[in-house]
Amino acid sequence: MSGDDDLPVPGYRLKELDPQILRHPADRAATAALGSIPGIDTIVRRLSEMGYERALRQNLLASAVRLSQQQLPDVYDLHRSAYTTLDLARTPELYLAAFPTSNAVTIGSSDPLVLVHSQLIDQLDAPQQRVVFAHEAAHVLCDHVLYGTVLQIILSMGGSVLNKSLPTALPLMAVKNALLEWSRAAELTSDRVAALVVQDPLLVCRTLLSISAGTAADRLDLGAFLAQADDYGKQSRGLGLRTKLNLELGSTHPLSVRRAHELMAWVKSGDYDRIRDGVYPRRGEEDPDVRAEARAAADHYRERFQGAFKDVAGQAEGAAKTVTDWLNKNLGDR
């Protein structure tokens, strides 16, 4: 399989698609909230300057297999076709690593690469793998990779490193929690993009079902899963902010049922059909509707993200210097 033959419709392209039109309101608000935390950009830049991104990349190169036209070409072509559909000029390198969980991740702030777990390839059929690769390509399209890479760096540090200096570890732990909340919001945007790339929102939901249920997924009913997602949407309206945050605490991804609910709500709004049919702003175009939606999203989600990020934002600008000094002292020689 290669080229246009991998796509749902030969020649289907989302030419110069502006990713801003696709952003879930939670993604908009979380990204804005991260940018408003005093000193967050200093921490992000310092972690990168100290070589942690390079070390993370080198670890992948040493512990995973790079796929290509010579290594699992059928899988590689599913990956490559996502970038063709999204009209992205460059296809990141793809790596396969042995992991007993089904997951994939995109890292590299300036030079992205994609890592996919072997369990995911074993568990999903080719159409579902296409969903996963389209989802990862969405992170590149939507500029999720910088914050996503920093999150992976912090997660890779582990508790023993963070506990070296408890007073300064606490602000960094708060940064980690803020990045986790942002990551869960970014996933909702990437599900939208994946649905557009494969031209089948139900296939995205079927993939979420398969990842959640494991080997039993082929004997499960998608309609019942979507009904469960609808029930979740109705019942979650009555949950408090703290309860909602605790449900996903510590996870880089939202609950699969929630993801299915959010995706289908977007489809029902009509935006999916409109964008799929080519009615969308191009990159670089000004769209007043997008700006208005971004403001509305920030207003709607302000309470949620202020609650999630208050431990960091409350540290003011001194927190960035404290964390940076701690990184220099404890981690600078790594």
Q: Model confidence over 219-244: pLDDT tens digits?
A: 889 999 999 998 887 776 655 444 55
pLDDT(332) > 80: no
Higher pLDDT, 286 or 75: 75
Provide the pLDDT for residue 10: 57
How many angstroms separate the most distant Cα atoms in the chain? 57
| Cα–Cα nearest to 309, from 174, 148, 200 | 174
pLDDT band at 6 (very low <50, low <70, confident <90, very high): very low
Under 8 Å between Cβ of 206 and 139? no
Mean pLDDT (the chain) is 79
Under 8 Å between Cβ of 85 and 13? yes
- 101 half-sphere exposure, CB direction, 13 A CA radius: 5
Checking DSSP bridges between strand 93-97 and strand 113-117, what pairing results, if any? parallel
Task: Please give the structure tokens belonging to residue 249.
Answer: 């605490």
| Cα–Cα nearest to 105, from 187, 28, 161 | 187
Q: What is the dihedral of CA 124, 128, 133, 134, to 10 degrees?
A: -170
Q: How far is CA 244 from CA 68, 99, 132, 154, in A?
A: 41, 29, 26, 23
Provide the pLDDT for residue 127: 95
Under 8 Å between Cβ of 56 and 107? yes
pLDDT(293) > 50: yes
pLDDT(274) > 60: yes
Provide the pLDDT for residue 221: 92
- Extended strands (E) in the chain: 65-67, 93-97, 104-107, 113-117
Residue in the structure block whose two tokens are 């608000």: 29
- What sign does the CA torsion over 334, 148, 213, 66 have? negative
Under 8 Å between Cβ of 119 and 99? yes
> Which of 109-113, 141-145, 223-227, 327-331 has the weakest average pLDDT?
327-331
| Cα–Cα nearest to 274, from 259, 261, 289 | 289
Provide the pLDDT for residue 35: 75
Q: Would you say how long the chain is, in residues?
A: 334
Provide the pLDDT for residue 98: 92
Provide the pLDDT for residue 314: 45
- What is the SS3 string spanning 210-258? HHHHHHHHHHCCHHHHHHHHHHHHHHHCCCCHHHHHHHCCCCCCCCHHH
Q: How far is CA 317 from CA 37, 225, 314, in A?
A: 8, 46, 9
Q: What is the pLDDT of residues 123-150, one digit of tens each?
A: 999 999 999 999 999 999 999 998 898 8
- What sign does the CA torsion over 200, 196, 78, 152 have? negative
Q: What is the average per-residue pLDDT within 293-309?
A: 53
Task: Please give the structure tokens belonging to residue 300.
Answer: 């709607």
